Amino acid sequence: MENADDLFSRLEQLNEIGTALSVESQLPVLFEKIVVAAKRITHADAGTLYLVSDDRRRLQFEIVRTDSLAIALGGTGAPMPRDKLPDLPLFLDDGSPNHAMVAVHAAVTGQTVNIADAYRAEGFDFSGTREFDLRNGYRSCSFLTVPMKDHEGEVIGILQLINAIDQRTGQLGFFSQADQRLAESLASQAAIALSNRQLIQQLEALFESFIKLINLAIDEKSPYTGGHCQRVPELTMMLAEAADAATEGPLADFKLTDKDRYELRIAALLHDCGKITTPVHIVDKATKLQTIFDRIHLIDARFEVVMRDAEIRKWKSIAEGNAPAEAERAHVDFCQKVTVDRSILHRANLGSEKMADEDVEHIHRIASEYRWTNSDGLESPFLSDDEIENLTIRAGTLTAGERETINHHIVATIRMLEQLPWPRHLKNVPEYAGGHHERMDGKGYPKGLKREEMSWQARIMGIADIFEALTAKDRPYKDGMKLSQALAILQRFSLNGHIDPALHDVFVTSEVYRRYASAFLKTHQVDR
């Protein structure tokens, strides 16, 4: 009869194990804990954990432990040699259940199998076990094979224990009914812990798939914005890891847990989700006059009308008796002027250079000097007020109104994210994602936060967002900057209160920019 103290001790261990399993988040470690715990409470020399495959047609080896042979495969042990330990089929070629192997039998029937001596057991094929024993000088004797069932009663795995050791004599023994009940109780707790963990992972995978779906929608709407939404998270995590590794300075106490990393990555993936509300002709505005199409071609057409009218005036002047040479010279001079003025508008439309006062005056002069006759026969201004506003944009291609529309994406991002019922470990996602356009001096948007009002994570994302935008090679309105140019701008930003200077120091001294450049920039961008 089993010692009562020993049984009570093992029950206490079972309770402790259940608690430990419920808090373990890493599946390989969870699998290992299940096997180690089962071996300990049943005094088994060896243990194996199998999982049922997703298609529910195979058993897959996950953990193998044999203390006397120092075998430790899976989990924190050596990698599982899948070629030497192939999956076990749950069904035969004719589709009938495979009852030949004891682990498979337990999986297809859902019943525990307790065998005192494998060499004497009937009804199961232990030829593989005998070969293993022969190769390794081992004697597989007692087997306790327990199915692990989830909350729906489905078998999700098999816990198999081998060779019970008699604690008084140290000899091979058999698994008692108490051992079996303890193992079944542990298997039940383990199955709940495993299914909970798998459910959490499936929900996380589903959630991340929705995030990718949003980014895919942005990508389909604007390919370069979609690329931005993929690259910023990569750069964000590179800088976050460098900040975590800092041992001195303001960031010495900044440390990230795995949950912190996951939260930051989710925020980075969602940082521009509000751009799904931004009109694509503004997001992708490559020239100043671009809307659904580039309106510079309309102005070209007007120039053609103006030149046609000039030619008509020439021939009309000659017909009225004026000197042909003088009329021709006036016509040529006018056409040359048109060519020059048209090139001025084309150059201004590109928005690739900052406009000087003289350039702006040229636009207004052209607008006032030319008139044209529209399709209704009415004389009209050569440039509309909207065209003048766009062509006189000092830098870039966006008007003040369009820039405000672009900037509204961060407001939309915050509103969208604040609508979600974030779990506790993701509660900071709206703050991290919504703060990447704030500045350290309080001149950013949308909230005008200052450095001390922002988390390190939001400041990290701010730098990642800026550096990606400077070096991006797929923008329709500019080429990606070289590293030296981007770093020079980032340096100025660190001095004028735009970005966090401590994080900028880490970005440079840890050469985060080089790792990012190696992965995402073109060769010609990576200069000294």
Pairing of strands 371-373, 379-381: antiparallel
Tracing tokens 């198999």 back to the chain, one arrives at 160
Which pair of structure tokens corresponds to residue 367?
């607008």
526 versus 292: which is more confidently predicted?
Answer: 526
Which pair of structure tokens corresponds to residue 55?
């298609």
Residue 407 identity: N
Which pair of structure tokens corresponds to residue 454?
């922002």
Is the pLDDT at 33 greater than 90? The verdict is no
Q: Per mean pLDDT, which range of 141-145, 215-219, 375-379 is the poorest?
A: 215-219
Q: What is the mean pLDDT of residues 321-325?
A: 87
Is the pLDDT at 2 greater than 60? The verdict is no
pLDDT of the residue at 15: 61
Q: What is the mean pLDDT of residues 59-88?
A: 93
pLDDT of the residue at 263: 96
Is the pLDDT at 39 greater than 50? The verdict is yes
Is the pLDDT at 105 greater than 50? The verdict is yes
* CA angle (161 as vertex; 158, 166 as ends), nearest 5: 160
Q: What is the mean pLDDT of residues 344-363?
A: 86
Which pair of structure tokens corresponds to residue 417?
């994210």
Question: Strand, coil or helix: what is 196?
Answer: helix
* Dist. CA 103–CA 233, nearest whole Å: 44
pTM (2 d.p.): 0.63
pLDDT of the residue at 225: 61
Tracing tokens 């030829």 back to the chain, one arrives at 127
Q: Nearest CA to 253 among 243, 261, 262?
A: 243
Q: Nearest CA to 144 among 119, 177, 118, 180?
A: 180
Question: Strand, coil or helix: what is 217?
Answer: helix
Structural domains in the chain plus CATH codes: 4-200 (3.30.450.40), 222-278+421-525 (1.10.3210.10), 296-397 (no CATH)
Q: Helices marked H in 222-291 — which ranges?
A: 223-244, 258-269, 280-283
Q: What is the mean pLDDT of residues 229-243?
A: 95
Beta-carbon contacts of 50 under 8 Å, excluding residues fewer than 6 positions away, are 59, 60, 61, 62, 88, 103, 107, 157, 158, 160
Query: pLDDT confidence of 125, banded at 50, 70, 90?
Result: very high
Q: What is the mean pLDDT of residues 239-250?
A: 95
Query: pLDDT confidence of 143, banded at 50, 70, 90?
Result: very high
Residue 259 identity: K
Question: Is 164:144 a contact under the CB 8 Å cutoff?
Answer: yes
Which pair of structure tokens corresponds to residue 450?
């200052």
Provide the mean pLDDT of the chain: 88
Query: pLDDT confidence of 186, banded at 50, 70, 90?
Result: confident
Question: Is 295:245 a contact under the CB 8 Å cutoff?
Answer: no
pLDDT of the residue at 240: 97
- The CA-based diameter of the chain, rounded to the nearest angstrom, is 134
293 versus 58: which is more confidently predicted?
Answer: 58
Is the pLDDT at 475 greater than 70? The verdict is no
Q: What is the mean pLDDT of residues 109-133?
A: 94
Query: pLDDT confidence of 1, banded at 50, 70, 90?
Result: very low
Is the pLDDT at 246 greater than 80? The verdict is yes
Q: What is the mean pLDDT of residues 173-192?
A: 88
pLDDT of the residue at 284: 64
pLDDT of the residue at 441: 95
Question: Is 350:340 a contact under the CB 8 Å cutoff?
Answer: no
Query: pLDDT confidence of 6, banded at 50, 70, 90?
Result: low
Omega before 446 within 30 of 0, i.e. cis: yes
Question: Is 290:397 a contact under the CB 8 Å cutoff?
Answer: yes
Query: pLDDT confidence of 170, banded at 50, 70, 90?
Result: confident
Segment 404-414, tens digit of pLDDT: 777 778 888 99
